[in-house]
Chains A and B, each alone.
Chain A
């Protein structure tokens, strides 16, 4: 009976793998989510002031964009290996590396979003007596949200996949299982962990898309308003909305 098991015959898809390694998969997925969330959140917290600084001062802009792009170009294996002597064999190595990778995407997208804010909107806000802080958070940031969220989505998906490289020091979430599976030619382990990783990326992307729609309802208002011209047909209009 044991000889018939899909684990022994090393099938790509194996139910027994799921039933015997459930806890392993859950732990790896949670570690993966934790590392990704921490990295993207810190990345955002670092990228936002950097983008503001780069926007405010032309002299800072070049170095900030150049440096973050250089970080992005460092091969991930090298990045993590270089950080180990500094930070030790800890999860902070992986998070730091991933934060550095996310910066170029986030900074560029925040900058692009802020640059796309119509000058008239700024003028109007200033005319209404908005100070610089209120202008930023009340007018510019909401208008820059679509570009910012687009950047956040790219950064998140790329972070989900790059997290796997953390497996070289044992903090790679699902990557630990992929690496272990590759080393021991364990097909079910490699495939299951890879599929979960892809699913994680898709779920994160869709979740951020929904968040973006919630945060920027005005991007959908023109459609809702259009049918309102002929008020009688409004039920169809509601359905669209």
Chain B
């Protein structure tokens, strides 16, 4: 009796030891593997010229597609590339300064204001404007001391825009924001909770266009919830972006910013100057900047957000259609 119970106990001890060993092995495999991989990336890209580059991407569709297109162009130029998806600019911008990320698709005015606030405090006077040239110049002035190189902007612009439902637009015969102001409709706006302070948002709509804003529904900019709120008539106006491809799904149309209230958010690549500042990389990415238009961006977004193609496939298709690859 006592012998069997001892045997059972030994068995149990072995089982426990086995479980611990399995867990430890699993842990070692996961931990070790991923740590080595990230270490490898860092080491590889430290060599200038021929190396591996990490492209940063935010988690929204347009950023993902642009990152895939950058990856295609840089691969074509002889680099090995990987893409890292990081949700917020607050997280990826410092990583870009440090060189953990080498290239990021960015927006001139948004990044300029982000760096302006970071550098000069929350209440710093704005540096971005509706003038693309001046905005990029201001951005470069803020970015260069941080070790960031801002490449030339192209025609493609993804900036803030306002949308209403098709029915609302037809009923009041609206095509532009000026016409919305003239209609004297009382408007509840679905936008970010910072809208009342941003000159391009509530203050601009009221002063520049004379729109009667009765309140802000603090939903995230261009979020699904915000679109649904406008669709259901809970709110009348939606803050979104010019390249939003899902508006059609929600029966929404953009109103033209006819008095140029919005800052120039031209798409441009921003790179870590030390690790990806070479002319070769600049030239590779400039191929895209030369051809990309706002309509292209909307179309690319639509392929992912409406037709549900994969960002990588959409990017590859675009590169091929425009003949941007040499191989």
Of the candidate stretches A87-95, A104-112, A124-132, the one touching chain B is: A87-95
The verdict on A229 contacting chain B, using a C-beta distance below 8 Å, is no
- The reply to whether A183 and B60 form a contact with Cβ atoms under 8 Å apart is yes
Q: Closest CB of chain B to A92's CB: distance in Å? A: 7
The verdict on A56 contacting chain B, using a C-beta distance below 8 Å, is no
State the CA gap A126–B283 with chains docked (Å).
77
Query: Cβ of B88: which chain A residues have Cβ within 8 Å of it?
Result: 168
**Given A37-B26, A184-B304, A215-B15, also A169-B249 (CB < 8 A):** no
- The reply to whether B38 and A90 form a contact with Cβ atoms under 8 Å apart is yes
Q: Is the interface of A mostly helix, strand, loop or mixed?
A: helix
Inter-chain contact total with CB atoms closer than 8 Å: 102
Of the candidate stretches A66-74, A114-122, A174-182, A194-202, the one touching chain B is: A174-182
Q: Is the interface of B mostly helix, strand, loop or mixed?
A: helix
Q: Look across to chain B and name the residue whose beta carbon is closest to the beta carbon of A182.
A: B224
Contact partner of B34 (CB less than 8 A), chosen from A81, A91, A182, A215, is A91
Contact partner of A168 (CB less than 8 A), chosen from B16, B27, B87, is B87
The verdict on B24 contacting chain A, using a C-beta distance below 8 Å, is yes
Q: Look across to chain B and name the residue whose beta carbon is closest to the beta carbon of A145.
A: B16
- The reply to whether B307 and A42 form a contact with Cβ atoms under 8 Å apart is no
Contact partner of B224 (CB less than 8 A), chosen from A91, A180, A185, A214, is A185
Query: Cβ of A84: which chain B residues have Cβ within 8 Å of it?
Result: 91, 94-95
A-side interface size class: 35 or more
Query: Cβ of A21: which chain B residues have Cβ within 8 Å of it?
Result: 310
Residues of A140-193 at the interface with B, using a CB-CB cut-off of 8 Å, are 142, 167-170, 176, 179-180, 182-186
The verdict on B124 contacting chain A, using a C-beta distance below 8 Å, is no
**Given A41-B23, A170-B86, also A89-B305 (CB < 8 A):** no
State the CA gap A65–B138 with chains docked (Å).
51
Query: Cβ of B306: which chain A residues have Cβ within 8 Å of it?
Result: 8
Contact partner of B249 (CB less than 8 A), chosen from A85, A89, A168, A185, is A185
State the CA gap A180–B230 with chains docked (Å).
22
In the complex, the 7 A-B pairs of residues with the closest C-beta atoms, listed nearest first: A7-B308, A34-B30, A170-B85, A41-B27, A168-B87, A41-B23, A38-B30
